Structure 1
Amino acid sequence: MLEVKRVQVQVPNPAEATETADAIGTDTTEDNLQVDQSKPAIVIIGTGLAGYNLVKEIRKNDNTTPIKMFTNDDGAFYSKPQLSTGFAKNKSAQELVSQTAEQMAEQLHAEIHIFSPITAINSQAKTITCSKNGVHHYGKLILATGASCIEAPLTGNGLNHVYSVNDLIDYARFRTIAKHKKKVLIIGAGLIGCEYANDLLQTGFDVEVVDPMSTVLASLLPEKASKSVESALALAGAKFHFGTIIEKIDTDGSGVKATLKNGQTIFADIVLSAIGVRPNLALANAAAVTTERGIVTNRQLQTSNSDIFAIGDCAQVENHVLFYISPLMAQIKALAKTLTGTATTVSYNAMPVMIKTTLFPVVVNPPARNAEGTWHYEQQSNDGVKAVFKDANNQILGFALTGDQTSARSELEQHCPAIMP
């Protein structure tokens, strides 16, 4: 357990929450802070971007309420978006860390429990049970439990060669094993798969990608925009296998042989599964909190239990489950105000997503689910595509920009409706 009682944090936001935010730095100023242990504690489960930045926002207005944080890992603070750019930047896992848990405890004036999984939540008694540190009471409980990688349904004797990367420990494991490998097989050509393909290609790896859709980023981009990204990655050396899935991974010498549903086989040194993430709901379910695709909250991030809140990748806010930094930062600002006495609802403006395919940049502001309209291609060439989604009244509801057309982002963003006004 780490606890310090003298320092006030001043942690700047990440580049106003862009999708490629770097690790957030911290500045500290000395102050005679004194936590009032008679106050009910704010307990936060999770020490990722959501948890740490929520505490930073709380401490702007409240320096006396006890704050306890619990995490399954070492609590190191790092920028998760950098996990998919670390190879090209030749960054080790340690080099991605900006602050240790001990440093964060001092700066945030918080009690941080590392390697301390939560095994139970008693919402009636308002307690959590920690595997190593017993029972802790809370006044307000924040679930910042994030999301976990979806496992590909594979068979075969080579599954120990299949990796996924969702946190710093995963990154360290994959980077270490890949040190003397040459060829990587990626499962999935969505956002995560494309970002890793981009990163690994720039590092000199041979890359093959398998996806059941007909092109890359198929759930985010219209076809011609998707094809422009596919062409750029293929030109850089990626080989794609669309319209099929991997059914079996078997060992082949020191590497693997992947058997595809269409009968093809692919030989590689290592496999990276990148088919997406799913909110972690186990603790919410244990607390009898309502869950659907995520932990269901109202616009004050409050769950079905009035003293339990959810933020970040695990939260479903008015049916929105968004795995991006911009909505996360909007949630943090609103919830911090609510927890410090000013009830505040969260709102989402248009939030374009920058996909980190640096070989061929992509910015997309997807239209709302079930939005009625049509994609219009206003520019398209080998250098980039500009596609705009418009309704019957010619109102812009979304856009997709690739290559040299990404410069149109600011102009188009102004015309798009808010996601959640």
Structure 2
Amino acid sequence: MSVYKKWQCQNCGWIYDESKGWPEDGIAPGTRWEDIPDDWYCPQCGAAKQDFSMLEICGDTTGENPEKSAGFRIWECMVCGWTYNEAEGYPQDGIAPGTRWEDIPDDWSCPQCGVSKQEFDMVLVGQAPTKPLSSASQQSNTTTAASLVIIGTGLAGYNLAREFRKLAPRSPLLLITADDGAFYSKPLLSASFSHGKTAQKLSTSSAEEMARELDAEILVHTRVIHIDRPKKILTIQQDGTEHVSKVHYGQLVLATGAKCRKLPHYEGDAQAHIFRINNLRDYHRFRTAMIGRKRILLLGAGLIGCEFANDLIQAGFEVDLVDQEKWPLATLLPEIAGRDLQSALEGYGVRFHGDTSLTRIEKSGASFKAQLDNGEVIKTDIVLAALGLEANTGLANMAGLSVQRGIAVDRNLQTSDPSVYALGDCAEIDGHQLLFVAPLIACAKSLAQTLSGNPSQVNFGVIPVAVKTTLHPTTICPPRPGAEGAWQISREKSGVCAEFRNSRGDLLGFALTGNAIAHRERLSQECQPIMNNQSTNNR
């Protein structure tokens, strides 16, 4: 029997088993850890390969046969919105009820707009409901009470549900989501184009599979339209219907994530054609739009913008990267480190336009003409904006909860209502807003303890973040906002080591580029934690 190793992501806990490989990324069963490309990322959270550690040594398990899902699926045409339900088929075209998508003839086309199946304009959007997966329209006027209700099925919602289920295997659990509930890692949206990843490949589990794994009920394509906090009742409505239902909760968790910031107003006739990517549907639409196109104008050189530039240039596109700051990652990196990253990206073909911004975008035949405020004109085939995220606080505002930059919670992740909690990108935790995976995972573990009767506080330590700029590796560990100190810079052979120290010499943060990322572990051990021991109780 062959001996294989298992490797665990230190951010999210996902496990790579050498005996099984990861065929979704082209990694065959039996592939040893050292043979996986260095630019490979955790499929669940997007962490770099260096963030894994060996978990155990075990025998060959390739003979195991995981249970296959028998649930029917729903597919939506991304051109016109028409849906194909496998359970219902489409008898008008001779497609019997129960016919799987893959069994439909390749020459079949959308009955509403005529898009062909081969053009990949059909995308999986959901599961035909089978218990415990359901939709709001199937519910009676008042649903049986659930001791825990989670609103949102992103990384925060699903990871909390997993951690909670470990501690409370029999407690009723309900998740509500406005989308199809498919599990995917949002951080991978900015690093998957060059790997040939479609939206379907990024989705690793359907809502039905997640419901089965969690022994939970999941309401898909369902929106919460009112929260009655005194009575602990949610009013919900399924998309496309006027029917409303009510859900009683014991404890409620908001895991509503973040949304793209509103675009500035641009002159011209093409603002509506600017793409933004915040979910799988956005990613699919962008990939579809890029077919046959070559030139990309990327607005924003923050963390996500730099990752997109790194990804798209490797996918063979021409990339113009525009930012109002003078260097990339200007809010996270000192200038010398930012310039180092800029130089590396430019060396691979990215054209960086700093200290300027877009003022006008207009159609020019099948392409676009972009005017910058420095007078420069860029011709492009497509425009993608990566101008940052802001917390989704609409539900919290509607419910009268305390909101600051995000939903205000204390270190127990409790809002101003003791029965309502929040975590993930939508939350501001004791004054900290950390839109990264590692703190999200820590919050999920801590909140699961609290919700299962063992109150637990989060206390973030040192959180270095690997930016997915594989052409020039970059790690950031920003100092606390308002921290007093200065950057101390040292150049490496092909990188920069920047240490942020106060007047006493204490290390409060650091930034590493290129080969200087080798200092990550040493500096992480020395660096001061991001949270003080004393809570500010910002609820």
Secondary structure, aligned partner of 1:139: strand
Residue type matched to 1:265 in 2?
V
In 2, distance between residues paired with 1:42 and 1:135?
14
Asked if 1 retains the 8 angstrom alpha-carbon contact of 2:144 and 2:247, the reply is no
Secondary structure, aligned partner of 1:258: strand
The answer as to 2:220 corresponding to 1:114 is yes
Map 1:214-233 → 2, pairs under 5 A: 214-233=326-345
Q: CA deviation at 1:39?
A: 6.7
The answer as to 2:357 corresponding to 1:336 is no
The answer as to 2:12 corresponding to 1:17 is yes
In 1, distance between residues paired with 2:153 and 2:8?
16
In 1, distance between residues paired with 2:203 and 2:354?
36
Asked if 2 retains the 8 angstrom alpha-carbon contact of 1:22 and 1:81, the reply is no
The answer as to 2:141 corresponding to 1:141 is no
Q: Partner residue of 1:257? A: 369
Name stretches of at least 5 consecutive residues in structure 2 with no aligned partner: 1-6, 14-39, 46-64, 68-131, 133-142, 239-243, 534-539
Q: CA deviation at 1:259?
A: 1.4
Structure 1 segments of 4+ aligned residues over 3 angstroms from their partners: 12-15, 17-21, 37-40
**How many correspondences in the alignment?**
401
Q: Partner residue of 1:403? A: 514
In 1, distance between residues paired with 2:216 and 2:66?
14
More displaced stretch, 391-400 vs 151-160: 151-160
Residue type matched to 2:327 in 1?
T
Residue type matched to 2:526 in 1?
H
> RMSD of the TM alignment (CA)?
2.0
Q: Partner residue of 1:312? A: 424
Residue type matched to 1:324 in 2?
F
Q: CA deviation at 1:14?
A: 4.6
1:42 to 134, 140, 148: 148
The answer as to 2:428 corresponding to 1:324 is no
Secondary structure, aligned partner of 2:346: helix
Q: CA deviation at 1:60?
A: 0.8
Asked if 2 retains the 8 angstrom alpha-carbon contact of 1:211 and 1:244, the reply is yes
In 1, distance between residues paired with 2:9 and 2:398?
33
Q: CA deviation at 1:40?
A: 4.4
Q: Partner residue of 1:235? A: 347
Q: Partner residue of 1:418? A: 529
Q: Partner residue of 2:25? A: none
The answer as to 2:172 corresponding to 1:56 is no
Secondary structure, aligned partner of 2:290: helix
In 2, distance between residues paired with 1:138 and 1:39?
6
The answer as to 2:207 corresponding to 1:207 is no
Q: CA deviation at 1:180?
A: 1.4
Q: Partner residue of 2:3? A: none
Asked if 2 retains the 8 angstrom alpha-carbon contact of 1:14 and 1:22, the reply is no
How does the TM-score come out when normalised to structure 1? 0.92
Q: CA deviation at 1:378?
A: 2.3
Map 1:345-360 → 2, pairs under 5 A: 345-360=457-472
Q: CA deviation at 1:13?
A: 7.6
Secondary structure, aligned partner of 1:402: strand
How does the TM-score come out when normalised to structure 2? 0.72
Residue by residue over 1:134-173, the C-alpha shift from the partner in whole angstroms, topping out at 9 and shown as x without a partner, is 1111111100000001132133211232101111111111
More displaced stretch, 197-206 vs 38-47: 38-47
Q: Partner residue of 2:120? A: none
Residue by residue over 1:182-230, the C-alpha shift from the partner in whole angstroms, topping out at 9 and shown as x without a partner, is 0000000110110000000000000001111001000000110000000
Asked if 1 retains the 8 angstrom alpha-carbon contact of 2:146 and 2:173, the reply is no
Q: Partner residue of 2:72? A: none
Name stretches of at least 5 consecutive residues in structure 1 with no aligned partner: 1-11
The answer as to 2:334 corresponding to 1:197 is no
2:187 to 73, 76, 81: 81
Of structures 1 and 2, the one with the larger relative CO (CA 8 A, separation 6+) is 1
Q: Partner residue of 2:135? A: none
In 1, distance between residues paired with 2:379 and 2:455?
56
1:103 to 189, 199, 209: 209
More displaced stretch, 79-88 vs 216-225: 79-88
In 1, distance between residues paired with 2:254 and 2:528?
29
Q: Which has the larger radius of gyration?
A: 2
Residue type matched to 1:54 in 2?
L
Residue type matched to 2:282 in 1?
D
Residue type matched to 1:290 in 2?
S
Q: CA deviation at 1:393?
A: 1.2
- Percent of residue pairs bearing the same amino acid type: 43
In 1, distance between residues paired with 2:152 and 2:146?
19
